[in-house]
Amino acid sequence: MPDWESGRNHCWERWTRNWMGLRDSPGRSGQMMILAKELAYGRRKDVSNPFQWDKVVLNLPGSEHYDPRLPWVFKLRKDGSIASEAFIYVDDNTGNPSPITGPAKNFCRA
C-alpha cells in the first residue's frame, strides 16, 4: 500500500455515473441496470414473489374494454391485482427516487 494511503480506512470518493468519453459509456451502464433489474425481479411465476405476473394487459383508449382508471399497459397477477413494478428512468440510471408500484403497501417496501 502506498504511504499516502496508510491511515485511510474508508472510501474517499465514489463515482455514481459514467460520463461520455470514458472507458465505459452510459449505454453500458444502462445495459447493466436492465440486467440487475431482471435479476431482482426473480421468478415471475412464483406466487410469493411481489413481482409475480400472469399476463400483460393492453388497456388502450378506443378499445372495447378500455377503463380510464387503469394504466394503458400493465402486468396482471394471478389473483387479479396489478403486479408490482420498479421504474428506472433513462436520464441518469440512478433510480433516485426509485418509484415502485404494487397492489399493496407491503409489496412496495424499500
Residue that has been written with the C-alpha cell 440486467 in this structure: 35
* Rounded distance between C-alpha atoms, residue 98 and residue 103, angstroms: 17
Mean pLDDT of 12-38: 67
> Is residue 91 within 8 Å of residue 98, measured between CB atoms?
no
Per-residue pLDDT tens for 30-54?
777 788 888 888 898 998 888 899 9
Residue that has been written with the C-alpha cell 440512478 in this structure: 94
Contacts of residue 106, defined as CB under 8 A and 6 or more positions apart, other chains included, come to: none
* Rounded distance between C-alpha atoms, residue 8 and residue 57, angstroms: 54
Q: Which pLDDT score, from 0 to 100, does residue 61 have? A: 94
